[in-house]
Amino acid sequence: MKPALLHLFTGSGGVGKTTLSSAWALALAQQGQRVALITIDPAKRLAQSLGLDALNDTLSATNVHPLLWAMMLDQSATSQRLVETYAADRESATKILTNRYYQVFSRSLAGVQEMMAIHEVHEALYSGRYDAVVLDTPPAQHALDLLDVPEKLRVALDGPALKWLIEERIDVKKRRGLRASLSDLSRAVALKAFTKITAGPFLEDLLQFIELFSGVLTKIKSNGLTLESALKSEHSKLWVVTSTDASPLRAAARVTEELAERGYEVSGWLVNRTPSLLCGPSPSPLNETLERATELIRVTLNEHTELSALASSVAHQEVERAHDARRSLDQYKWRSGLHLISEISPDHEPLSMVRELARYLNSLHLIQS
């Protein structure tokens, strides 16, 4: 089955990534696309941007647009659904869900959030129910963690330590020998290779958990590798969101390099909250628009002397902001795919801002369904 088109948004914190991804999803819906909007950020910013008190942990219809569905990943609920989906049978699922090691694993082990995200995104991409999937991620390093999961699982699941544990568990005759081995050096080596959880006196539970849950992890690995292939194909767009400030721009450069090292191609930088003076109709705004805008303000102020000193001050402040932004952007203007997204008045309510930004994005003809 041909997957839906995936739009993944990454970038440093505080650059408006969630608002922009919400507006992007809404813009696609306004084009007639069936859109799944997923956030793996545990903060509630996505719900707020859609004018909602909260989001469900499954893709649910929104009142923002009839073709827009949204969800916020809930680690506990999603991990249970994942087990029930991928376990060999209902009995195996029950054993996993009641296993004490699973209880710790699903709540606190590093990487679980990313594993659950792979499951949800894979389901949305290949369900046939959506034309596009928009994925809002936490700050950049977490997005990279998500992309690293398939390889980490491959190393863990194909490694000799885990295979040895599973094979010994299945062979009942060797259980006593296994306990003896684990009491020695093998215990520390094997357990450290698989999990951060301290085995303590619950060895039987641990071995059962490894035996049963390794099958679930194998399927997550398979889905992750499928997702990895999709992200490197024409069916995906990877967007790095930044702003005109120096620090987010440097962060955008770093994450772009790290993605390239992993074999991913960034579709472009979305420079969010760019001063509107830089976002005019000129085909080369970084070189020409600001000078024309500065001259226009100067002439306007000279012609309309009734303008207050405050208005004059505000106008000049906007020009200075635009000049500062351009100086920062000039260091990166060599980049192809540098898209300037005009700032939207912060006076708007969150949903109104998303709607306004969606209209703006569609006017740029930047979003292709």
| Mean pLDDT value of segment 245-258 | 92
| Mean pLDDT value of segment 254-274 | 91
Select the more confidently predicted residue: 249 or 364.
Answer: 249
- Nearest-5° angle of CA 103, CA 110, CA 71? 80
Angle at which helices 203-231 and 90-98 cross, to 10°: 110
* pLDDT of the residue at 69: 96
- Nearest Cα residue to 20 out of 368, 343, 369, 365: 343
Asked whether the predicted pLDDT for residue 165 surpasses 90, the reply is: no
* pLDDT of the residue at 130: 96
Residues 6+ apart with CB under 8 A from 308: none
- Nearest Cα residue to 21 out of 42, 40, 4: 40
The DSSP code sequence of 104-157 is: HHHHHSTTHHHHHHHHHHHHHHHSSS-SEEEEE-SSHHHHHHHHHHHHHHHHHH
Highest mean pLDDT among 59-63, 85-89, 193-197: 59-63
* pLDDT of the residue at 311: 53
* pLDDT of the residue at 172: 43
Whole-number mean pLDDT of the chain?
A: 77
Q: What is the CATH number of domain 5-276+334-364?
A: 3.40.50.300
Asked whether the predicted pLDDT for residue 71 surpasses 60, the reply is: yes
Q: How far is the C-alpha of 332 from the C-alpha of 5, rounded, in Å?
A: 28
Among the residue ranges 74-78, 93-97, 154-158, 273-277, the one predicted with the least confidence is 154-158
* pLDDT of the residue at 308: 52
What is the torsion angle, in degrees rounded to the nearest 10, for the CA atoms of residue 57, residue 63, residue 69 and residue 73? -20
* pLDDT of the residue at 70: 94
Q: How far is the C-alpha of 77 from the C-alpha of 73, rounded, in Å?
A: 8
* pLDDT of the residue at 196: 44
- The 10s digit of each residue's pLDDT in 267-297 is 999 999 998 878 855 434 444 555 655 566 6
| Mean pLDDT value of segment 236-242 | 93
Q: What residue type is 141 in one-letter code? A: Q
| Mean pLDDT value of segment 17-37 | 95
- The 10s digit of each residue's pLDDT in 301-341 is 565 555 555 555 556 677 788 888 888 888 887 677 889 89
